[in-house]
Structure 1
Amino acid sequence: MRSTERVSTQAMAPEATAPDATSDGGRADSRADISEDHLRRLIRTGIALSAERDHATLVERILLEAKAIARADGGTLYLRDPDRNTLSFDIIRNDSLRVAMGGTTGRPIAFPVLHMRDPDSGAPNYGNVCTAAALTGRTINTADAYEPGEFDFSGPRKFDASTGYRSKSFLTIPLKNHDDEVMGVLQLINAQDEQGRVIPFSPQIQSLVEALAAQAAVALDNQHLIGSQRALLDALVQVLAGAIDAKSPYTGGHCERVPTIVKLLAEAACTTDSGPYADFGLTEAEWYELHVAAYLHDCGKVTTPEYVMDKATKLEIIHNRIHEIRTRFEVLRRDAEVAYWRARAEGTDPAAAEAAFAATVRELDDDYAFIAQCNIGGEFMSAEDMARVRRIGERTWVRHFDRTMGLSWQERERAAASPPPPAPAVEPLLSDRPDHRVDGYDFGEVYNLCISRGTISPEERDKINDHIVVTQRMLAQMPFPRHLARVPEIAGNHHEKMDGTGYPNGLTGDQMSPLARMMAIADVFEALTAADRPYKRPKTLSESVRILAFMARDNHVDRALFELFLTSSVYLAYAETFLRPDQMDAVDIPAMLALARGDGPNRPGSG
């Protein structure tokens, strides 16, 4: 413990010897009245400390103001780690030695921590003046470290012997918060009178510095509380975003990747010196606002059913119902085989029977292959294909078992509204039954197989789109503080479009903040390049940029931001981290810029 005291004192000892104060001079100063200047300075300092948010600036001001009030040659501010019960150096200043570490200097302090208790025995360390002040919660005013006392100053004396300097007076004050918990220790060294002589710290000066220390502790505690609240908010935001991603094995990571893109784009906008965003900038508070909004932009997805959000095929609900339909085809094939052998048994010409059987099998194979392909979904389904689905669905098969058995009570209630005929019953191969309509969804087989684009029905699309309404409703209910007041707008408008055709509110570009417009591009680009969606293959980098270029041309996303997205290589910085090697291909930047401005083919995929 004593070696630790030595490190602290050596760090603050002046280069040159300061003249000793006479005992009379020290006593004369101790009787000096506290001036009005002292009080005014103390009031101004308290106001300034309460307004300071930057930690480095705060601790530096605390120490420098304490040194100035006490006319001290040096000082150190230690912060306590309550978990490890240690004091660590946070800032050191010394005028004679010209030492400045910590605070706003950026120079790290490499001195070891002071242990308030022995790491092995757990015994309190009362031998060190700083740890003793922290342990007892009382100020320790040492007039002369060379006089015998209860604290070990052998370290400073040893240093003084090697330098010719005398470390004499010390004022060590614990910093206690509103709960009377010690947050740290402020230590000043070598008070000086007006002639520069080293003197003890007077009772009046001690009172002033203690008052300053009390204000400093409140400021540090407030800063700690603000930091704790921010850490809690960050944790809640991360937990919610992680829960949304974890809800679906296919969209996992979306809420992590979108913030990466939007922050890269915001940085590009802040650094550009040309174009519409030349004057764009963000304060530290606005950066944090964007951070929170980016992670919460899809919080409404907690209400979106997984079987809708992850629907990989047209017939999928909880499972892919193509297997049920395939079983019916299997039954029809088996029926055809039975019919073949029955015909043979009844004396039908073998060749004719075999030809009829083969024709039926070919038709079934062809029809099933077509239905299976329709189930996968695609960019467009023709009216002819839809008609064929309906025609195939009208084919019949014979059901021999009661399809109301083994159902849940809800399924039984739906079936009771339109009870099936008793078995054996002739039923269509594909059907849209009344019991397929559940809670606003239509799970009809023909209906879903005839979805014209992708795998999502109109009702399911509405439900997916509804997540942004839920997002806005959830964020509107959160009591965001003033510096986060724009989070709902930034997070909740990323599906709006520049031309007013987006949702849910049909906002135009001039009704959206720049950050909301950045969110729109980030959300689209992540979705285009994502390699974890079950309903689509991952697009290459050039394909994704090309689609975004068309969206910029059609005034769906901010064209100026899209151009910045390309010219600042935001797209590439993201791709190099998150895209698979087989997605990484060359992007023709000039061609994409021209396309976004209206010079190019009329639709994605052409040319």
Structure 2
Amino acid sequence: MTTTPRPIAALDAELEKSSVDHPINTHLQLAVALQTTPGFRAFAISTPDDDVVVITRDGLIQILLGSTVWQAIADFQVYLQQASSDSSICLVCTGTHTELAALPEYISNSPDIQLLGLPLHPSALYPIVHNIYNMQTLLRYERNSSLEVQESSQAVKHIMSISRELNGERDIPKLLDLILLKAREITNADAGSIYTVDSPTNRVQDGSIQFHRTQNHSIRQNLSTFSLPVNEKSIVGSACIHAVSINIQDLYQLSEDPEKNPYGARHDKTWDQRIGYQSHSMLTVPMFDISHNIIGVIQLINRKKDREAKLTSPESFTEQVIPFDERDQEMAEIVAQQAGIALENANMHQNIQDLFDGLVTASVTAIEQRDPTTSGHSHRVAALTVGLAEIVNKCDAGPYKASFFNDDQIQEIRYASLLHDFGKLGVRENVLTKAKKLYPSELERLFMRFELIHATLEVDYLRKVIQYLQSPDQFPMGANPYTFEYEKNQKIAELEEHLRFINKANEPTVLEQGGFEKLKDIANLSYRNLRNERHPYLLSEELKALSVSRGSLTREEFAEIQSHVVHTYEFLRKIPWGKKLANVPQIAAKHHEKLDGSGYPHAAQVGEIPTQSRMMTIADIFDALTAKDRPYKKAVPVDRALDIIEMEVKGGKIDSELFRLFCEAKVYEPVLDPNFKSNI
């Protein structure tokens, strides 16, 4: 098969902006990476079409097909026919994991077709392509054999299947179990253990070996994790230091003197005696990451003639256990190669997840530091919302029986809940933390004014007394210093009463009946300062703030607080969440919307509010009512809080079925525990 490279404008553009630090997300970026990575100099790379890349080496051909090609059945059939008629061709279908999952089984299981899931880190590309090349080489060799061809072909298929399984698992404990299981299966090993190696430097000796898992087909073992130093006192340590596989035919035939054994190997039979087992043949294989640093070790025990046989008696060990041969070692090393890449990818995925979690936690901390009175609110809302989502997953009746949130969607809900108030960073801090109707500075200014009014009353009194003493005839009959003092005291008492009422009105409670009129009466009063200038008792902005009928915020301030959901959406949508978490901004931004259109900021209707946001609405209201750390209000008892939310339900504002599930499952109980600590 011949191909002719041709210039592609889009490819040239990608070449100019390519970077080894950026993940490969598209087939075009994949083509760029193949042409710019030094490791591919031994391969001939051509691009006969926009979504096709051909890699050739030693007569073996890999054709990388983008999703636009293999999703077009007619185009794909052409390549399938070429691959079926020419054993040197291997088709590699590229695409997202979701796209590749849609491939028909007869295609995805074909030995002539490989799958390459995107996104992919550039450093992982060469090992994957080179491994496919090795498999092609092995497959070509095996196809030229007669009796061995079927067995080898099955082994290659098995390796390919293992590769797909390993690369599809991101959970590290599950991946380690899977690696060990597949290594045992392909070598007929009765038992085995798997270790990881962690070193702070490029020297493996500076690190430690961590035991993680053991598997045994014949007996049950429960071992706790433990650490080993990287040295030659253990076979695993020797495999790490020398970076080679160690194949021991029979541990029971080793010399008592370790110096006489390969790699100084020694075997402590007391452990076998304790568990009623015999470890004879052993194969220890290191796993390497993309940079060829040792990342772990697979240790396999007792290769069996019969895969299903159980080793439960001395005779069974004698009859069944045989050494691991060269082919076993070769297959185990191929699995270890795939496992090393898969484990590094899983570690990278976990590191990215940890980084994301750290950024979210830091963001929540920043929010709560701006408004310490709501400390813990975001974590409690997240716990309540995720808890309700998990209850929805268990529904077997009602409108939500068909609803189910997978792990990615639960994570999406978790992040959206934690960051639902992120937009408060865009609200002025004094508005955000306003505990009373007047800001502290405004109240201080008002107190100083009333002290000044008090002082002017004293000055007026003294002025009158002096005038009376100088010219008593100018005053009406009955006027004297005593009446002047009485009038002064009356006015001071009224002033103090006004101040007491203002202090009371300043609290974020419901303004008492007639309170607004009384505030207006006070505002209509005036005084003269020492320069004889007339000023009102209350400024217009003070009257406006004190006249708020409920709470502490004026209409404008409340609108500013409400704007936090708009800020939340604008902030969160700038974060590249990826496909799995793409709905985080929308879920978070709609937690104040109501089903009847009375919510904010967009007065969204029923069909416009996601279920995740509806759940968060219930969680947010419940925590706002029951929180005990708000200095400006008392916590509402749980029963009363549920009654208040139920009134919202009856008013058509909140989802009735979700609220029913919330109440019946008592989703709120964990967050009410005084020792509640979020694990979200």
TM range (shorter): 0.7 to 0.9
In the alignment, the residues of structure 1 paired with residue 295 and residue 545 of structure 2 have an alpha-carbon distance, to the nearest angstrom, of 65
Give the drift of 1:578.
7.9
What corresponds to 2:195 in structure 1?
Answer: 78
8 Å contact from structure 1 (residues 328, 397) kept in 2 = no
Offset of residue 356 of structure 1: 1.5
Match in the other structure for 1:355: 486
Tell me what 1:139 maps to.
245
What is the aligned counterpart of 2:534 among 423, 426, 448? 426
Out of 463-472 and 553-562, give the one that drifted further: 553-562
> Letter of the aligned partner of 2:168 in structure 1?
A
Q: Which residue pairs with 1:115 in the alignment?
A: 229
Map 1:271-350; keep pairs closer than 5 Å.
Answer: 271-316=394-439, 319-345=440-466, 346=468, 347=472, 348-350=479-481
Q: Does the 8 A contact of 1:129 with 1:151 survive in 2?
A: yes
1:368 alignment counterpart = 499
SS, match of residue 506 in structure 2 = helix
1:169 aligns with 2:281: yes
From the superposition, tell whether residues 539 and 111 of structure 1 become closer, same or farther in structure 2 (CA, over 3 Å): closer
Aligned with 2:588 (options 476, 491, 509): 491
Q: Is the 8 A contact 2:456 2:528 kept in 1?
A: no
Aligned partners of 1:541 and 1:575 also within 8 Å: no
1:385 aligns with 2:534: no
Structure 2 SS opposite 1:569: coil
| 1:128 and 2:251 are equivalent in the alignment | no
Question: Cα distance 1:127–1:299, how it changes in 2: closer, same or farther (>3 A)?
Answer: same
Q: 1:365 to 1:127 in 2, by over 3 A?
A: closer
Q: Which amino acid aligns with 1:430?
A: L
Residue 42 of structure 1 aligns to which amino acid in structure 2? I
Shift in Å, 1:551: 0.9
- The answer to which of 556-565 and 192-201 deviates more is 192-201
Contact 1:399 1:427 in 2 (8 A): yes
What are the Cα deviations for residues 343-388 of structure 1, in whole angstroms up to 9, with x where unaligned? 3331442342233223212221222222222222433466x53343
Q: What 5-or-longer segments of structure 1 have no aligned partner?
A: 1-30, 102-107, 117-124, 401-422, 433-443, 580-607
What letter corresponds to residue 331 of structure 1 in structure 2? L
Residue 496 (structure 1) shift: 0.3
Letter of the aligned partner of 2:618 in structure 1?
A: I
Aligned to 1:184: 296
Amino acid at match of 1:454: G
Residue 448, structure 1, aligned to residue 571, structure 2? no
Q: How much has 1:152 moved relative to structure 2?
A: 4.2
**Match among 347, 350, 359 for residue 236 of structure 1:** 359
Give me the whole-angstrom Cα distance separating, in 1, the residues matched to 2:346 and 2:236. Answer: 23
Distance 1:354 1:192 in 2: 112
Amino acid at match of 1:360: K
How far off is 1:231 after superposition?
1.3
Which residue is 2:666 aligned to? 569
Paired residues of 2:505 and 2:511 also in contact (CA < 8 A): no
Counterparts of 2:275 and 2:557 in 1: how far apart (Å)? 81
Most deviating of 473-482 and 462-471: 473-482
Picking from 37, 41, 61, the partner of 2:158 is 41
Offset of residue 133 of structure 1? 1.0
Partners of 1:561 and 1:162 in 2: CA distance = 55
Shift of 1:136: 2.5
Q: Is the 8 Å Cα contact of residues 207 and 229 (structure 2) preserved in structure 1?
A: yes
CA distance in 1, matches of 2:448, 2:544: 19
Gapped runs of 5+ residues in structure 2?
Answer: 1-146, 201-205, 255-259, 307-317, 473-478
Residue 216 of structure 1, aligned match among 316, 335, 339: 339
- Shift of the 301–161 alpha-carbon distance from structure 1 to 2, 3 Å rule, reads closer
Q: Structure 1 residues 427, 165: CA separation in 2 closer, same or farther (over 3 Å shift)?
A: closer
Q: Please tell me whether residue 530 in structure 1 is matched to residue 627 in structure 2.
A: yes
* Structure 1: distance between partners of 2:445 and 2:225: 72
The answer to whether the aligner puts 1:500 opposite 2:608 as a matched pair is: no
Deviations 1:177-224 (A, max 9, x none): 112221110112333457966444333332221111100111111111
Distance in 2 between the 1:365 and 1:166 partners?
94
Deviates more, 1:188-197 or 1:148-157: 188-197
The corresponding residue for 2:101 is none
2:219 aligns with 99
Letter in structure 2 aligned against 1:427: H
Give yes or no for contact 1:313–1:455 (8 Å, CA) kept in 2. yes
Q: Does residue 550 of structure 1 match 2:647?
A: yes
Match of 1:65 among 182, 202, 206: 182
What residue number does 2:613 align with? 516
Q: SS of 2:601's equivalent?
A: coil
Asked whether the equivalents of residues 522 and 538 of structure 2 are also in contact (C-alpha less than 8 Å), the reply is yes
1:87 pairs with 209, 212, 218, which one?
Answer: 209
More off after superposition, 540-549 vs 223-232: 540-549
- 1:424 & 1:293 partners in 2: Cα distance? 59
TM-score (norm 1): 0.75
* Percent identity (aligned): 30
Letter in 2 for 1:302: L
Alignment of 1:3-42 (within 5 A): 35-42=152-159
Cα separation, 2, equivalents of 1:283 and 1:203: 44
Deviations 1:113-152 (A, max 9, x none): 3221xxxxxxxx1232111111222222233442532444
Is the 1:128–1:151 Cα contact (8 Å) retained in structure 2? no
CA distance in 2, matches of 1:111, 1:336: 82
Q: More displaced, 307-316 or 141-150?
A: 141-150
Q: Given residue 309 of structure 1, which amino acid in structure 2 is its aligned partner?
A: L
Supply the distance in 2 between the matched residues of 1:275 and 1:57 (Cα, whole angstroms). Answer: 34
Residues 1:574 and 1:93: Cα distance change in structure 2 (over 3 Å)? closer
Deviations 1:51-76 (Å, cap 9, x if unpaired)? 12344443333223222322333322
State the distance in 2 between where 1:163 and 1:343 align. 108
How big is each residue's C-alpha offset from its partner over 1:7-29, in whole Å with a ceiling of 9 and x where there is no partner?
xxxxxxxxxxxxxxxxxxxxxxx
Q: 1:257 aligns with which of 380, 386, 394?
A: 380
More deviation, 529-538/364-373: 529-538
Q: Note the C-alpha offset of 1:523.
A: 0.7
- Aligned equivalents of 1:269 and 1:445: distance in 2? 48
Query: Alpha carbon RMSD of aligned pairs, Å?
Result: 2.9
Alignment check: 8 A CA contact 1:468 1:492 kept: yes
Structure 2 Cα separation of the partners of residues 291 and 46 of structure 1:
32
Structure 2 residue identity aligned to 1:141: N
Q: Deviations over 1:569-603 (max 9, x none)?
A: 23445434489xxxxxxxxxxxxxxxxxxxxxxxx
Does structure 2 retain, via aligned residues, the 8 Å contact 1:313–1:535? yes
**Cα distance change on mapping 1:197 and 1:546 into 2, 3 Å:** closer
The separation in 1 between residues aligned to 2:369 and 2:562, in whole angstroms, is 20
- Equivalent in 501, 514, 525 of residue 395 of structure 1: 525
Deviation at 1:298, TM superposition (A): 0.9
